């Protein structure tokens, strides 16, 4: 039969990214197809099944050697039930038993995982965390996602909703988050909220070079805040510094909660490079406890946008090894 192969599928609101990997996490083929959510659930499910078949065909491997499919889906979802429960940007997939449907369509064992967990597993399996056993990942995008690996296993929790790291409260009574809580790290340290907070403060009357964009009817994005902060804009500098400090507090919380060897940062904000990483590391060093030197190494992810499908394939590999489909 030859060596085993794994298919990974990253289900997004716009596109489905898929690929086939070997047992050493080498990508043999990868591609993206439209999800077509406007066409309904049956179409999306068909696209996933077709993507799996295409991955086998393009990689030119024996179908019998493909031992598993992993699917990363937006949450909330249930790994145990293989059920997509209520994904906000994929409403057509609500209450879909996706795992069992794909098994029926393809005849290949399939595992369903939260997309943020899958991306974290990708970095753990093949990226920035591949040489550690305990890792935490923060994804800094529109919101703040996360994943936690403890002793080589994903942490899901009793309600299968663990690792919602963006919703750790770092400022009691702070900014309202989209989740309904106040003071979440997401409300301060996501790319979307760095931009939103800067715009809010400007509209409240604070001076900033970014005001010209708002006055012209243009959106303020995270990269604009970053550039303004680098140029010496006081408001932008404060918003950026707050994001680094609150993210450091979240890192320290995870240091004490799961004691990871490494914390990996992913998402669009890491394009800021040392402008993000240097103050974040300094805050972690200055704010953590003094009883023991067990601060995790903080570094950037390496797989970029491929982490989702790579990690989904890795989840299938892990499910095969553990029997936890």
Cβ neighbors of 185 (< 8 A, separation 6 or more) are 144, 165, 166, 167, 168, 169, 170, 246, 247, 249, 250
pLDDT tens digits, residue range 178-237? 999 999 999 999 999 999 999 999 999 999 999 999 999 999 999 999 999 999 999 999
Cα separation of 247 and 245, whole Å? 5
pLDDT at 4 over 80: yes
Task: Check: CB of residue 294 under 8 Å from CB of residue 259.
Answer: yes
| pLDDT for residue 2 | 62
pLDDT tens digits, residue range 82-104? 999 988 778 999 999 999 999 99
pTM for this entry = 0.94
Cα separation of 146 and 265, whole Å? 9
Lowest average pLDDT, out of 31-35, 40-44, 75-79, 219-223, goes to 75-79
H/E run at residue 50: helix 41-59
* Domain chopping of the chain, boundaries: 5-124+305-322, 131-301
Mean pLDDT, residues 268-283? 97
Angle at CA 91, nearest 5°, toward 85 and 96?
40
Mean pLDDT, residues 274-288? 98
Which CATH superfamily is 131-301 part of? ATPase, nucleotide binding domain (3.30.420.40)
For domain 5-124+305-322, give its CATH number from 3.40.50.720, 3.10.20.90, 3.30.420.40, 3.40.140.10.
3.30.420.40
pLDDT tens digits, residue range 100-136? 999 999 999 999 999 999 999 999 999 999 999 999 9
Percent of the chain with pLDDT over 90: 95
- Write down the mean pLDDT value for the chain: 96
| pLDDT for residue 88 | 78
- 8-state DSSP, 89: T
Nearest to 190 by CA among 141, 239, 147: 141
Cα separation of 38 and 13, whole Å? 10
Task: Check: CB of residue 44 under 8 Å from CB of residue 92.
Answer: yes
Cα separation of 122 and 115, whole Å? 10
Q: Decide whether 5-124+305-322 matches 131-301 in CATH topology.
A: yes
């Amino acid at each position: 039969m030859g060596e085993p192969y794994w298919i990974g599928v990253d289900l997004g609101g716009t596109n489905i990214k898929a690929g086939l990997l070997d047992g050493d996490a080498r990508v043999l083929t990868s591609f993206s197809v439209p999800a077509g959510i406007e066409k309904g659930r049956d179409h999306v499910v068909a696209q996933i099944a077709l993507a799996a078949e295409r991955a086998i065909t393009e990689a030119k491997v024996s179908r019998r050697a493909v031992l598993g499919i992993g699917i990363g889906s937006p949450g909330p979802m249930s790994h145990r039930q293989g059920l997509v429960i209520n994904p906000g940007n994929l409403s057509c997939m609500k209450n879909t038993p996706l795992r069992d449907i794909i098994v029926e369509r393809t005849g290949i064992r399939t595992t369903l995982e939260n997309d943020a967990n899958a991306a974290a597993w990708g970095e753990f399996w093949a990226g920035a965390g591949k040489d550690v056993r305990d890792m935490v990942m923060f994804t800094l995008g529109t919101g703040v996602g996360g994943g936690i690996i403890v002793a080589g296993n994903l942490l899901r929790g009793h309600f299968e909703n663990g690792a919602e790291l963006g919703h750790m409260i770092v400022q009691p009574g702070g900014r309202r988050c989209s989740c309904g809580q106040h003071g979440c790290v997401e409300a301060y340290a996501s790319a979307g909220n760095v931009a939103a907070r800067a715009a809010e403060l400007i509209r409240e009357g604070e001076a900033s070079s970014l005001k010209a964009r708002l006055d012209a009817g243009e959106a303020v994005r995270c990269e604009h805040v970053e550039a303004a902060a680098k140029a010496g804009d006081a408001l932008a500098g404060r918003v950026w510094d707050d994001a680094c400090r609150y993210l450091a507090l979240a890192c320290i919380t995870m240091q004490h909660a799961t004691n990871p060897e490494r914390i990996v940062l992913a998402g669009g904000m890491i394009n800021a490079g040392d402008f993000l990483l240097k103050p974040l590391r300094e805050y972690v060093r200055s704010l953590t406890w003094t009883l023991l030197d067990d601060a995790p190494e903080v570094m950037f992810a390496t797989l970029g946008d491929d982490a989702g499908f790579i990690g989904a394939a890795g989840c299938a590999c892990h499910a095969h090894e553990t029997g936890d489909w």
